[in-house]
Every structure is written in C-alpha cells, then in structure tokens.
Amino acid sequence: MNTIKKSFILTIASLCLYLSSQGQTINWATMQNTRHIGSVFGGYDYGFNYGIAYGYHLKSKLPIVIMASHAQPAGEKVFDDFKTKAGVVVRVYEVNNFQFAARVQGIFRRFENQYVTMLNFGSDLSATAGYYKPSWFVAGEFGFDKAIVTNFQHTNAFRENFPDVKDGWYQPATGGNFYYGIQTGYSFGANDITLNAGKVIQQDFRTDPTIPFYIQVGYNRRF
Amino acid sequence: MALATLTFQSCDEELDIHTPGNLVPPAVNEDSSLPSIKVNNVQLHAEAFGNPNDPMVVVLHGGPGADYRYLINCKALANDGYRVVFYDQRGAGLSQRFPGTTYTMQLLYDDLDAVIAHYRSSPDQKVFLLGHSWGAMLATAYINQNLDAVAGAILCEPGGFKWGDVEDYIERSRDFKYLSEALNDAVFSDQFITGKDDDHAVLDYKFDLWAAADETTDSPTGNEGKLPHWRSGAVTFDAYIRLAERTRPDWTTHLSQYTTKVLFVYSENNKAYGIAHAQKVSSAYPNADLFETLDAGHDMLTFQTGWNNTYPAIRNYLGNLK
C-alpha cells in the first residue's frame, strides 16, 4: 500500500464513527409489531456520509420491508453529491433465532467536482444471515453495488486538457464493487442502535477502491 | 432499473469507459498522428525544439505518471541555443502503457539513455537534465548511476533523493481536511467507476479525478492553479510508489563523485518544502547552488510569475556550463 493511500486510511480511520451511507439496518427479532422504521445513520462509505432512511413493514406472511434512504457526503457543497436508494428487503428464512434476508435496491447517485458531473443509475443486491434476539443481533452481510449506467458531463476546466472528451451516457456498466462485513446492534424499547462494518473490493475481487472499507453507525426508531 | 437501462440502450451512441479517446486521449501507440519516438521497446510521446547540434536539455516531468505539458515553458531555452527535448516517461502522459509489474527504475534509466541517444547529433554534444519534482528525483537517480553522462542538472523541488525524505515531504504536502469537499471528491467517485489493473483508460481517468482534489489553491504546496496535462499514468504512479515503498531507494550513493555544479530550485510558496528541506535534500550533491523562486509554489515552471522568476536562473546556470 503506497504512502499516500496509507495517509488516507489513517486519516479516515480516526474519524470512522462519524458518517456513512449503508442505509437502514434491521433487527428482525423486533419487527413483529412494527409498521414504520425511521432511521438516521452516519459513517464512512466512499467518503464520509450521513443520511436518513424510512422503512415500511408490509402486512404479509413473509416479513417484507419497503425501504428508501438518502445519504449525503460531507463537504462544503451540500447537494452536489448524494446517493439515494429505494428497494425492498425480505426475511426469506428463519430457524430458531437464525434469520436470513435478501435485499434489492435501486440506486440513483450524483458526483460533482471541478472536472465532471456524473449521474448514475445502479443496483445494490445483498444478503444477510445472522442471529437475532429482541435485545441484540449479529449478522454477516454480503452485497454487490453495480453502477449500471452513468452520464458524464465535463466542465470547461476538463476540456482545457482534453477538448475531445465525450459526454453522454456510458454503458455497459461503469463500475461494480462487492462489500462484505458484519451488522450488529442493540435494541431497547422501540429503538435500535446499529453498527455495520466491512470491506469493499472491486468486482474483479482483486482491486481495492481508494479506501477499502465501510463503517456505519445508525439509529432506528420503530413505530 | 430495467426501465432505466432500456431507456439508455436506445440512445444513439453507446459510450464505453474502456475506450481510449472517450474519457482520456489515446496514447501514441493508439494514435499515429501524435509525435513520438520508438526507443528501448517503448513508444514515447516526445518532441524536440531548437538546433539539433546545440547542447541538449532533456526535460523530465513529475509524477510519477504526469506528463510534460505543464513544463512546455522550458521550450524557451531553444531560443537560447539549446536543443530542448521533451518526452512523457513510459506509462505516463501519452506514452505507451504497460502492465504495472513491468516498471522498474532501470527501465527509466534505459529509456533516458535511449532518448538521449535518439536525439544526440554527436558524441561530444553536451547533455543537461532539467527535472521537476519526480523528474528531478529521476534525474538524480540517473546521475547516481551514470556519473559521466550529463554535463549538469537543474533540479526543481525533488521530494527527496532518499525515500525517507520523500515520505516526509509527501506527508507535509497532503493536507486533506477532515470532512472536506476535497477529501470527498477524491474518493466518492470510486462507486461510479471501477477498473481492473490493466484498464489503463479507466484508471487514468479516475486518477485525474483523484488528483483534482490536490489542485486546490489552499494546498500547502502553494499551487497557483490546475496544471495543464494530457493524461495521467495511474498504473505507473502506483507501480513506482509501491516499488519505492518496498525497496526504500537511496539515490545518493555515488553523488559525492559528481562534482559538477547543479542548480537546485525550491519555491517560496511551497510551505511543505522550505529551505530546511531544500538544504537537506540538496546536500547529497557536493556542489549544489540553491535558488529560491519567489512568489511561486511547487508549480514554479508552469505559471507566469514562477516561470519569469525561475527562467533567468536556469539560463544563467546553463550558460556557465554550456
């Protein structure tokens, strides 16, 4: 790992509890009488992020939660970058206190710097398997974030260097990252405190992104 | 997601991030209209200016992985009676790309040998090196191995000639503030674009976005603005940094024998450098003439004030050794 990346990681690791955007984390053992879940979260996920989420627990035999989240990275410019997700998580199997769930989400995200604005439509597919009790849980998670199609719009500053850059929609997929790690949490009353942490690796399973980990702290209010 | 995908598939042109020419310019081996030379089994983006018989000044760009576009002011030396040679180092700028595992320092020395040989008009034609940042480190590493090869050198703010000094400088020069827009801009794009280690076009583009975070005017290096460039060499940058971290090079082992005066340039506005670091680094040469460029930062050869303040010192130095 080169010196520059090392500096990055040390810097970010020291602040890793602040902001993130993995989204809503659910303690399945507390969902029986829950209809709505409101969440706030923060930590590190491709940058320092903070966000809100909402989940609606359907009245169905199989536990299904429809969820949406919006995360905002830190920085002086507030809305130039963001990640919005919407989808569904299903608890597909339960045996004793072990529960298995699958989550499918669509993503819409934006990135802007002095050179380019990127708009991306993507997907996030993940599965969790863990042990859930009314007052705590621990689970493993594995997921794949795919940047399916991305629009690039470059600025004059970029065109000063490369006038022939091509703006427009780029496909096939411009990016993909796997992530895997743990979820854990503590539940008390109608509240959950959750922690997600793990590793991120590019879709070739060899190449790391600039910062190859994520960590998020979240708070849920169930009602 | 399916609807979005179908919608965009119906657009007129499918653009692929892997294709050179879309997000990054093609390299010389992908575009034959670009000026290049083929030496040492590599096609290098290269140009030369001035009388081919005049003393040669070979300009070595920074990075590693940058290109010579930001040093083009040095072309003015052609009007002072020098043959000025520019080239993008292998894997950098518009020069040919290679797998990251192939890059070694010896290859860079051999490439420089080959560039000199290509442009040399006679065996006794004097050759000077003008290196900026990493280019000044490369120049010194080359001199350390080839003590009789060059008639003099202009070294502009090399990070160091021993890897420990380079690490110290890098740490001082990287000032990403916690939770800042610059730090966010450097990493948030990782979820939009990913590339394997041989996806040079993708990796070079991402590197440009990452490097943009370092071009802010509040950087401790005193940069006046964005450096003009054609294309970053992400793989070569990573390869040489990893190589250096693994081998911790010392490029000063024979420098005590190089008694020719060198011009060592540092800048007033680069707060990460300063006279202490300049004295420490330049002390490896027994005969180094320190020059502080006023009112300029690390990019002292690019923007007008820095160039106007540095060029006379370069011209005087070369004139005394010509």
DSSP assignment of A67-117 equals EEEEEEE-SSSSSSSEEEEEEEEEEEEEETTEEEEEEEEEEEEEEE-SSEE
**B64 prior amide bond cis, ω within 30:** yes
Subunit contact B192:A147, Cβ cutoff 8 A: yes
CB contacts, 8 Å: B193 with chain A: 118, 147, 150, 174-175
The reply to whether B295 falls in a domain is yes
Q: Which of A2, A118, A165 sits opposite B192 (nearest CB)?
A: A118
Q: Give how far A185 is from chain B: nearest CA, Å.
A: 26
Subunit contact B241:A3, Cβ cutoff 8 A: yes
Subunit contact A47:B212, Cβ cutoff 8 A: no
Q: Which of A46, A106, A121 sits opposite B187 (nearest CB)?
A: A46
- Residue A11 vs residue B190, higher pLDDT: B190
Interface A–B counts its CB contacts (< 8 A) at 174
Subunit contact A147:B194, Cβ cutoff 8 A: yes
Please report the pLDDT score of residue B174 as a whole number: 75
Residue B230 belongs to domain spanning: 28-321
Subunit contact A165:B23, Cβ cutoff 8 A: yes
Subunit contact B196:A121, Cβ cutoff 8 A: no
The reply to whether B36 falls in a domain is yes
**Degrees to nearest 5, angle at CA A59 with A53 and A222:** 35
Residue A15 pLDDT greater than 50, yes or no: no
The reply to whether B3 falls in a domain is no
The answer to whether the beta carbons of residues A140 and A128 sit under 8 Å apart is yes
Q: How many residues does chain A have?
A: 223
Report the distance separating Cα A186 and Cα A194, nearest Å.
Answer: 7
CB contacts, 8 Å: A11 with chain B: 176, 178, 183
Type of residue numbered A183: Q
The reply to whether B32 falls in a domain is yes
Percent of chain A residues past pLDDT 90, beyond the cut: 68
Q: Would you give per-residue pLDDT tens digits along chain B (322 residues)?
A: 444 444 444 445 679 998 889 999 999 999 999 999 999 999 999 999 999 999 999 999 999 999 999 999 999 999 999 999 999 999 999 999 999 999 999 999 999 999 999 999 999 999 999 999 999 999 999 999 999 999 999 999 999 999 999 999 998 887 666 667 777 777 888 899 998 888 999 999 999 888 776 666 567 888 888 889 999 999 999 999 999 999 999 999 999 999 999 999 999 999 999 999 999 999 999 999 999 999 999 999 999 999 999 999 999 999 999 9
Subunit contact B191:A162, Cβ cutoff 8 A: no
Closest by CA to B173, choosing from A3, A197, A134, is A3
The reply to whether B38 falls in a domain is yes
Residue of chain A nearest B5, judged by CA positions:
A149
Q: Which of A2, A115, A171 sits opposite B212 (nearest CB)?
A: A115
CB contacts, 8 Å: A164 with chain B: 21, 25
Q: Which of A15, A81, A204 sits opposite B196 (nearest CB)?
A: A204
Give the pairing type, strands A136-154 and A168-170: antiparallel
Cross-strand bridge partners of residue B266: B292
Give the pairing type, strands B262-267 and B288-293: parallel
The reply to whether B154 falls in a domain is yes
Task: pLDDT band for A104, please (50, 70, 90 cuts).
Answer: very high
- Burial per residue of A185-221, b for 16 or more beta-carbon CB atoms within 10 angstroms, e otherwise: bebeeeebbbbbbbebbbbeeebebbbbbbbbbbebe
The reply to whether B49 falls in a domain is yes
Range with the lowest mean pLDDT among A47-51, A147-151, B55-59?
A: A47-51
Please report the pLDDT score of residue B213 as a whole number: 66
CB contacts, 8 Å: B25 with chain A: 162, 164
Q: Give how far A53 is from chain B: nearest CA, Å.
A: 20
Please report the pLDDT score of residue B3 as a whole number: 46
Subunit contact A47:B183, Cβ cutoff 8 A: yes
CB contacts, 8 Å: B174 with chain A: 4, 7
Instruction: Enumerate the domain spans of chain A.
Output: 3-222
CB contacts, 8 Å: B214 with chain A: none
Q: Which of B11, B178, B190 sits opposite A210 (nearest CB)?
A: B190
Residue A17 pLDDT greater than 80, yes or no: no
CB contacts, 8 Å: A159 with chain B: none
Q: Give me the number of domains chain B comprises.
A: 1
Report the top-level CATH class of A3-222. Answer: mainly beta
Q: Which of B170, B184, B194 sits opposite A73 (nearest CB)?
A: B184
Residue A62 pLDDT greater than 90, yes or no: no
Subunit contact B212:A114, Cβ cutoff 8 A: yes
The token pair that represents B57 in the structure block: 């000044």
> At B145, which CATH number?
3.40.50.1820
pLDDT in tens, A166-216: 999 998 888 899 999 999 999 999 999 999 999 999 988 888 888 899 999
Subunit contact A161:B230, Cβ cutoff 8 A: yes
